Amino acid sequence: MSYKVRKHEEFTLFENEGGAVLGMRRPRVIEQDGYVFKDLAGTGELLPYEDWRLDARTRAEDLAGRLSVEEIAGLMLYSSHQLVPFRSTGPFAAHYDGKSYEEAGVPKWALTDEQKTLICEDNIRHILLMKVDDADTSARWSNALQSLAEEQPWGIPVNLSSDPRHGASGAGAEYKSAGVDVSKWPEGLGMTATFSPELCKKYTEAVSKEYRALGITTALGPQVDLATEPRWMRYEDTFGGEFEMTRAMAKAVCDGLQTTEGAPDGWGRDSIVAMAKHWPGGGTGEGGRDAHYAFGKCAVYPGGKFEQHMRVFTEGALSLDGPTGQVASIMPYYTISWDQDQKNKENVGNSYSEYLIHDLLRETYGYDGVLCTDWGITGDPAPVMDSFGSRCYGVEQLSEAERHLRIILNGVDQFGGNNAKAPIIEAYRIGCERYGEPVMRARMEQSAVRLLTNLFRVGLFENPYLDPEESSRIVGAPEFVADGMEAQRASVVLLKNKNRCLPLARGIKVYIPDRRIRARKNFFRGMDEEQVITPVTEELIARMSDGVSGCADKVTGEPEETANSAGQTTGSVEQAAGNAGTTSGGKGQSEGAASERLFYLADTPEEADAAIVFVESPLSDAYSENDVRGGGNGYLPLTLQYRPYTANAAREHSIAGGDFREPSADRGYRGKTNTAANEADLDNILETKRAMGDKPVIVCMRVHNPAVVAEFEPAADGIFAEFGVQKEAVLDLIFGNAKPAGRLPVILPADMETVERHAEDVFDDIMPYTDEEGQVYAFGYGLRYEE
């Protein structure tokens, strides 16, 4: 036999010469044909699914045929969000031998009682990791899960997945994963702003390697929705609304995540299963509302572009240039794709739609990968509209088991966020009564094959174990961190540079006002208290000052072609210092001492040489219980401006609507008024400009959604737009440590009227804003400093 055995403190490796490396906690092997194989089933003979020489599909078909319905039901579940460890102060509860984490005195990576139940009793093998303390903890926790799974019948390993965790800003429009120091990159919209395929490739390389080091083998992304509706709360996580760019980014990211270089079919130890979302497109909610909530469940297509939204999948994620061929899994969105069912004429949530799932995705487009529902769509609905409840849109009258059955028959394989297999077993029983056991067994087995195929593809059946020391070296590796910061800088867009005021000279005194956000509803529809935010701290300035020397000439991520060159302005460090009227000392420091300091914080505008005002795009809410109590329908306009906005140009009646909790199907909000929770951001700009006089005021806008900048643009000397980056990246650009290279991945609207009159499914029917210098803030626009 030609293999080597290496023992690790947590597992043993069997290294076949010219073959697979096998990792096991308790070695149980079969020697055959000069190689060693795992005896996962404990039969003492080599079964096809244990033979690593066979292709993934063949092995999956063999194993699926051996599983009971109860075991398949476990595969079809996707766990709720897991925290490592589950502290008693967190949002979710868990126990360790019946005690809290703090009482139990166990290691951070210990399995909870509930996690043991998931593996041993519920047969769940797809687990969603939300938060983990560090790479060492993640690796050891993953090893503990895999060890427990190895001891179960058939030895099916665990597939850990993650929501996006590499975003630099921790965007709040969806669950975000955190707690471990992975490299930080722009949010999806920011990656588009780089207009750089090379940076996109670096991004996927970092994500895949860091994910695998954490034990993660499935990414719940990318979010490839064509984001044509600028008010949508999940806009920033997409690649934008321009079709060609979104399609190209979808292909690049899916290819990069899934491909192991040198593998014949592209799949291997470096591969991550990508889950493109959301079929058939989630970016067209009426009025910009989001389908996490019943008041945002309807996606509308007044511009007739339904087919184009699907093409991001059919011509992008399902048509990859790399060897894996197509994205391995897809998630339909919560939405009701209003009036798009050409067969049954039903308005139901996408996973419940036979036409959208079975007829189009499975049959017409021939997709045979995994389909997983979005999280929490099969439970009973909440009694009130304004809630974070189940999203069984259009099928509220069905039982939970009947909802599962309908989804299964449509061709969906997995239920996001469902821990209990009982409803699937009951759905199977009902299906057997209606259609016969052979039909239902074949359908369940079909899903098992799809799900198991992905586990075989990424090598989990061979070696699911991790070396914690190696994981700690890989996660947050300096080269990944540097590439991420490069992408962050390259994603920031310079919109305005009046009188060449940028970049600012180092060592000057800068006024940066605190931000205030009024109390507002959060993602879970609870109430967040009023916030006071200090954008830049002395600690950050000191950290940046330590590494500022020698960086001024660095150019990051310059696009291949010049962006919208009409009327561009350029400038130099020396000119900026002259325009700012500054000396390089600041607070009495000598010129030599000042060169070591990026800048000094001024307490008031009067003592400052320049001001930097950090803002976010306007934050507003689409639904109000107060409006209902006052006799209204609850619906308010989502606003992209800061001051109170009255929707006089909105459509008189909604296109879609209807809910058992509402007396009327009309969700219109024409004539109603809403105000941004961060209206004080606009006050900061205007008040700072008045106090600063002729001294430069630089606005840095964090763009969640394309904002109406007309309210503040005339008061700003310089404007940067960023799409989810760390403050360091913006400050590097402001002070000339890097040069702006980003281009707008959005259209910044001229006003709210153009937004109201546009069709939710159309990207380019919005009039862009033109600033006081004649620059048009359209897709692809961006200024540069003088080279």
User: How long is the chain?
Assistant: 787
Q: Which of 374, 609, 681, 771 is catalytic?
A: 374
Query: Dmax of the chain from CA atoms?
Result: 87
DSSP letters along 314-355, please? IIIITS-SSTT-S-SEEEE-S-EETT--SSS----BGGG-HI
**Nearest one of 450, 432, 301 to 371, comparing CA atoms:** 450
Instruction: Show the CA angle centred on residue 314, arms to residues 308 and 315, nearest 5°.
Output: 80
**H-state helical runs in 39-126:** 56-66, 69-75, 101-104, 113-120
**Nearest one of 615, 635, 192, 263 to 457, comparing CA atoms:** 263
| Residue 200 to residues 189, 491, 504, 614, 747, Cα–Cα distance (Å) | 12, 11, 30, 27, 22
Query: The tokens of 525 are what?
Result: 């529809």
DSSP letters along 284-312, please? TBGGG--TTSGGG-EE--TTS-HHHHHHH
Peptide bond preceding 126 in cis form (omega within 30 of 0): no
Give the Cα separation of 234 and 584 in Å (integer). Answer: 43
Q: Which long-range contacts (CB under 8 A, 24 or more apart) does 268-272 make?
A: 268/458, 268/459, 269/212, 269/458, 269/459, 269/463, 270/208, 270/209, 270/212, 271/208, 271/217, 271/324, 271/457, 271/458, 271/459, 272/207, 272/208, 272/211, 272/212, 272/216, 272/217, 272/218, 272/219, 272/458
Encoded amino acid at 437, one letter: E
**H-state helical runs in 595-726:** 625-629, 680-692
**Nearest one of 216, 310, 312 to 257, comparing CA atoms:** 216
Count Cβ neighbours within 10 Å for each residue of 490-512 and write b for 16 or more, e otherwise: bbbbbbbbbebbbbbbbbbbbbb
Query: The tokens of 127 are what?
Result: 């687990």
User: What are residue 486's phi and psi, to 5 degrees?
Assistant: -60, -45
Query: The tokens 């009024």 sit on which residue?
Result: 518
Residue 413 annotated among the catalytic residues of the structure: no
Decide: helix, strand or coil at residue 82: strand
DSSP letters along 235-277, please? GGGS--S-HHHHHHHHHHHHHHHH--TT-TTS-STT--EEEEE
**H-state helical runs in 1-105:** 56-66, 69-75, 101-104
Instruction: Show the CA angle centred on residue 191, arms to residues 279 and 129, nearest 5°.
Output: 60
Give the Cα separation of 36 and 21 in Å (integer). Answer: 9
Give the Cα separation of 410 and 363 in Å (integer). Answer: 11
Give the Cα separation of 49 and 62 in Å (integer). Answer: 6
Intra-chain end-to-end CA distance of the chain, in Å:
64
CA 90, distance to chain mean position in Å, is 21
**Nearest one of 314, 310, 319 to 252, comparing CA atoms:** 319
Query: The tokens of 735 are what?
Result: 């002070």
- Are the CB atoms for 713 and 772 separated by under 8 Å? yes
Task: Show which residues are catalytic.
Answer: 374
